[in-house]
Structure 1
Amino acid sequence: MKGILIAGVFAAFAITVIDSLDCRQCTTNDDIKSCKDEASSCGESTDFVSCVESLVNSTLGGSQPLYQERSCSASNCETIIQADFTVRLPDAQQYHFVSQCCQGEACKDTDPGPRNLTNTQCSSCYSTNQGACNETTQQCFEGEQCVHIIVQHGSGEESVTEELKGCSDISDATCKALDSESAKIGEFTFQKVNCTKATIIPEVTTTTTPTTVTTTPSTVTTTPSTSTTIKASFISSVFGSLLLLKLLF
């Protein structure tokens, strides 16, 4: 019985070793849709221990080519820089970068899900090949911070250098990993990655200027009526007549 048990353990181990790793595998520029989502065998080699994927999906200026690379890797995931973040800019433009490593299994797509806007904002702009980055402001979602990224795609004369500023869901750990001496992931070299806390949108205050009302006193002149004047004249005449009679007698 003991011998049968040991043989079963070795058989299970042998099956585990023989089973090849399945990863999504393709490399594409300009048309990410041509990269299939189905995983396929990495072959019988036991050197492959992980699946690695790099993806850029951008709507900035229409100049950034869509890029995706999926492959089997002999590297341990602990030695590979992983990142998954989106930089959002005004006019619904965005730059989505993903680099992930999946140990012993195929990678899966990530989706942050719906988020709510907050009362925070970041400076925002986009430029290519050291062009002018005309800054504006971008309102941020929950969990986002401000980023300033300069990344080069490719090498030589065909390389493209992009500068991005905006709101991003990038993590502090990813910022630290990419903000090193020219961190490189696949065909992308990050020349600068700076992350700062989003600023609170200042409240708009309305100032009311008090209105001063000046009242000028009016002068009221009363003119005695005709009847009052006649009555006063009659009394004066009677009084004068009595005084004259007293003098005569």
Structure 2
Amino acid sequence: MKGILIAGVFVVFAISVIDSLKCRQCYSPTESCSDEATECKGEGFLSCVESLVNSTLGGSHYLYQNSSCSANNCAKNSNTQVAFTVHVFDNQTLHFSSQCCQGEACNDTNHETGTQGLTNTQCSACYSYNTTDCQEKTRQCFQGERCVHIIAEFVNGKSGTSVKGCSDISESTCETLALENRTIGEFVFQSVKCENATVIPVTTNTPPASTGVKASFTSSVFGSLLLLKLLF
């Protein structure tokens, strides 16, 4: 009887260990959060949720990151992780990352991907806050980028942004976010449009013949005629 009781205690302990959820838990608008995952306090947590916005739009650095335990069951969603960067103007970018991980801590996907040189493609580029109107300019794209127009806001509706430019966003992410008002983590993507970048037309101008070349050609013809007159 005592052996059965001890075995039951071990089973309960094992279940509690399995059911305990650890997530990175951090909110910091100024510096990077720790990679260490800590146990979620309380009951009902099923997933870990992480969101990050890293922006240099307007020439000012803005950082938002939030990692927490969540009662959402993100396993029901077909795609629970998105990460991409939008290049708008020179040295002005918007990096977005959000993911929901069921039953375990999320992998670190907050690092931006490197660029691999400019190409002969371009996109319209601009940005605005809490409005969809912005003054467009042309942006030359890096290798592997496509044109995007993204309108998104926080789930609480406190702030939103509209951004156009060249992005490394994947085809699968474009398809996932193509549905209007798609919620990923703490953000609602009201509209996401992805298009192939436009090839920059190549113009060739034939330079006019120089005066020196024309003069040389005229002198050569005159000299040949004079020589024929002397011979005959």
Q: Distance in 1 between matches of 2:193 and 2:22?
A: 36
- CA 1:57–1:114: 2 relative to 1, 3 Å: closer
Matched to 1:102, the amino acid is C
Within-5 A mapping of 1:74-93: 74-80=71-77, 81-93=80-92
CA RMSD of aligned residues (A): 3.4
Aligned length, in residue pairs: 210
Using structure 1 for the length normalisation, give the TM-score: 0.69
Q: Equivalent residue for 1:126?
A: 127
Q: Equivalent residue for 1:242?
A: none
Larger CA Rg, structure 1 vs 2: 1
Q: Which of 45, 49, 53 is the matching residue for 2:46?
A: 49
Q: Distance in 2 between matches of 1:161 and 1:90?
A: 19
Q: Equivalent residue for 1:116?
A: 116
Query: Matched residue of 2:58: which SS?
Result: coil
Q: Distance in 1 between matches of 2:145 and 2:90?
A: 17
Matched to 2:36, the amino acid is E
Is the Cα–Cα contact under 8 Å of residues 32 and 67 in structure 1 kept in the other structure? no
Question: Are 1:94 and 2:100 matched, yes or no?
Answer: no
Q: In percent, how many aligned pairs have the same letter?
A: 52
TM-superposed deviation, 1:182:
1.6
List per-residue Cα deviations over 1:153-179 (Å, max 9, x = no partner).
3656xx333221111111222222222
- CA 1:64–1:192: 2 relative to 1, 3 Å: farther
Q: Equivalent residue for 1:138?
A: 139
Is the Cα–Cα contact under 8 Å of residues 18 and 44 in structure 1 kept in the other structure? no
Matched to 1:200, the amino acid is V
TM-superposed deviation, 1:132:
4.7
Q: Equivalent residue for 2:182?
A: 183
Q: Distance in 1 between matches of 2:52 and 2:185?
A: 10
Q: Distance in 2 between matches of 1:160 and 1:88?
A: 21
Using structure 2 for the length normalisation, give the TM-score: 0.73
Query: Matched residue of 2:152: which SS?
Result: strand
Unmatched runs of 5 consecutive residues or more in structure 2? 227-232
Matched to 2:199, the amino acid is I
